[in-house]
Amino acid sequence: MGIRFDSVTVAYDGNVVLDSLDLTVEPGEVMALLGPSGSGKTTALRAVAGFVRPASGRVYLGGEDVTDLPPYRRGIGMVVQSYALFPHLRVDENVAFGLKARRTPKGEIRQRVAEALELTGMAGYARRHPRELSGGQQQRVAIARALAIRPRVLLLDEPLSALDARLRSGMLTELARLHRELPDVSMLYVTHDQVEALTLADRIAVMDSARLRACGTPRELYRAPTDAFTASFVGGANLVPVTVTAGGVSLAGTELKLDTAGAAVGARATLCVRPHLVGLGEGPNRLPGTVREIQWRGATHRLYVEVDGHTVMADVRELKAPPALGDTVDLHFAPDDGVLLPAGVSHG
């Protein structure tokens, strides 16, 4: 079942924290809400769940206007960062909680609890208490509890941010599997972690200061971002101020070939190139500069090269003989790998 925000605005004490959000999550789609802390992601989720009332605009679930419905009548499952399990209840009792509240018959509760624990890989832990589980296991129980009511949509608010890095990557795989097993359940997944968004989401909605900045598939936003904020938030990006020329752009008098998509000659703009698409040595679109920093990252070296007062990052395959700090080097990138963005401040 889909979710639709129709110009939803939320304000606290007259302070707008979600500004006219228009966004549609298709039935069965995983939509990531990605953005820095304070950008309004949780507020958007709470508006869907019914925990916060929009100052204006409407929220639809499967075409039904639910703006005036109380949370428990919306058929929503929600998982938050802190596992929020009841410490005095066993795992199965925690998972049964929402069903009991809905006065589901006993036999059906038993069956649905078993099903939800099976789905989340927690079938063997039904009689334990939360304190006898690891953080990752507790979060699985929280997910099982959200699923037990057979929600029409599942809302997840930074569900992995309390877990350590290794657990997080395992849980990401688990969530992707869960989505394959529940293809009809739409998911709205709030995160400030680009890896989670790129890995899990069918589409990503990028939030910046209460507003939706961009929305698209991970590939679209990564390959062809339309603004500097999105470019730097979805994957690392080199963002360099340039001037549009007839065949591309100019950077400190150097001509670079680029599709400028009809931008006016002489206009100021921002050149965006992903660090892994910048090569070391001679090539098309040559950028001469001075090495300021080198980081060895195992499979790659990251070079920070000063080009006309701007730092350009290049991720290159591990170098046998890396340049020294202060060396003059050439960087280059293929004309197809550069994206022209409007001029503006980067937030990277």
Site string for ligand ADP, 160-189 (x = CB under 6 A): ------------------------------
Which H or E run contains 45?
A: helix 41-49
- Contact flag: residue 54 with ligand ADP (CB under 6 A): no
Pick between residue 119 and residue 221 the one whose CB is nearest to ligand ADP.
Answer: 221
Sequence letter at residue 337: D
Pick between residue 112 and residue 213 the one whose CB is nearest to ligand ADP.
Answer: 213
Q: Smallest distance, Å, CB 341 to ligand ADP?
A: 23
Residues touching ligand ADP, count (CB under 6 A): 10
Pick between residue 33 and residue 133 the one whose CB is nearest to ligand ADP.
Answer: 33
SS3 category, 172 = helix
Residues touching Mg ion, count (CB under 5 A): 1
Euclidean distance between CA atoms 303 and 52, whole angstroms: 46
**Span 23-42, contacts to Mg ion by CB under 5 A:** 42
Among 16, 17, 126, 267, binds ligand ADP (CB under 6 A): 17
Among 38, 266, 284, 342, binds ligand ADP (CB under 6 A): 38
Q: What are the backbone angles phi and psi of residue 38, rounded to the nearest 5°?
A: 90, 5
Q: What are the backbone angles phi and psi of residue 99, rounded to the nearest 5°?
A: -70, -40
Pick between residue 9 and residue 311 the one whose CB is nearest to ligand ADP.
Answer: 9
CA 337, 343, 344 angle in degrees (round to 5)? 115
- Contact flag: residue 238 with Mg ion (CB under 5 A): no
Tokens of 9: 């605005």
CA dist list (Å): 83 to 63, 88, 133, 144, 232: 31, 14, 11, 11, 31
Among 12, 51, 72, 86, binds ligand ADP (CB under 6 A): 12
- Contact flag: residue 53 with ligand ADP (CB under 6 A): no
**Span 35-74, contacts to Mg ion by CB under 5 A:** 42
Q: Are residues 190 and 1 in contact, defined by beta-carbon separation less than 8 angstroms?
A: no
CA 151, 156, 159 angle in degrees (round to 5)? 135
Closest CA relative to residue 275, chosen from 304, 248, 295: 304
Among 1, 29, 31, 41, binds ligand ADP (CB under 6 A): 41
Q: Which residue blocks in 224-294 are alpha helix, DSSP H?
A: 228-233
Pick between residue 39 and residue 270 the one whose CB is nearest to ligand ADP.
Answer: 39
- Contact flag: residue 35 with ligand ADP (CB under 6 A): yes
Among ligand ADP, Mg ion, none, the one that 151 touches (CB under a kind-dependent 5 to 8 A) is none
**Which range binds ligand ADP by CB under 6 A, 39-47, 140-148, 323-331, 337-345?**
39-47
Closest CA relative to residue 290, chosen from 307, 275, 312: 307
Q: Smallest distance, Å, CB 21 to ligand ADP?
A: 11
Pick between residue 12 and residue 72 the one whose CB is nearest to ligand ADP.
Answer: 12
Tokens of 10: 């939320």
**Which range binds ligand ADP by CB under 6 A, 31-39, 101-109, 138-146, 243-251?**
31-39
Would you list the DSSP string of 95-149?
HHHHHHHTT--HHHHHHHHHHHHHHTT-GGGTT--GGGS-HHHHHHHHHHHHHHT
Residues contributing to the site for ligand ADP (CB under 6 A): 12, 17, 35, 37-43
